[in-house]
Amino acid sequence: MLARISFRRSSAIALTLIALGTFSACGDDDPVAPDEEPEIGSVRLTVAGTSVTVSTTQSPTLTVASGTNAVTAEWFKPDGAVETIVTDAEFELRIAQASGTGTLTWTPTGARGGTLVVTGLAAGASAAAKVSLFHKAEQHTEVDLNFTVRVP
């Protein structure tokens, strides 16, 4: 008789533990899903009405004036559709000189713009650069794409 009560008690405890595990795994208390990551295939950079598209397969030359230049950007998915989750609240457009220092200075204004100051490049000279999409909340770069900055 004692063995029968002990078996029932053990079975009841096991079933309770299984039920608790099932309910806790399916509850509404699940943590919030991580931020969605953008899928970047390319970016179109525009300066003074001139645009170039930079991608992993295209490293074009962007012609800019010596001095201060307003830059705007539009981010695209690999299929060419606009990447809509890129917002100023979450992301930042960055442009940097790829090698050396002092020629290109970047000040971002959000995910789609900023100011590029070009100094020290003579007419006809160029500098290797990279454009990046930086994820501010997660503190990492989503993509780095290479291009060239040229002074006419």
Residues 139, 111, single domain; the answer is yes
What is the percent of the chain with per-residue pLDDT over 90, rounded to a whole number? Answer: 73
**Contact, 119 vs 29, CB < 8 A?**
no
82 and 24 in a common domain: no
Q: What is the 3-state secondary structure (H, E, C) of 55-76?
A: ECCCCCEEECCCEEEEEEEEEE
What is the predicted pLDDT for the residue at 23? 42
H helix or E strand, kind and range, residue 11 = helix 2-25
Tell me the per-residue pLDDT of 79-113, one tens digit each, with 9 for 90 and over.
999 999 999 999 999 999 998 778 999 999 999 99
pTM of the predicted protein model: 0.76
Q: Is residue 48 part of a domain?
A: yes
pLDDT on residue 31: 55
Q: 47, 12, 49: which is closest to 129 by C-alpha?
A: 47
Q: Is the dihedral of CA 105, 110, 49, 78 positive or negative?
A: positive
Residue 36 lies in a domain: no
Residue 75 class from Cβ within 10 Å (0-12 exposed, 13-18 middle, 19+ buried)? Answer: buried
- Which residue range forms the structural domain that includes residue 64? 42-150
Q: Quick one: 19 and 53 in the same domain?
A: no
Of the listed ranges 9-18, 40-49, 110-119, the least confidently predicted one is: 9-18
User: Does the pLDDT at position 19 exceed 50?
Assistant: no
Into how many domains does the chain fold? 2
Domain annotation covers residue 124: yes
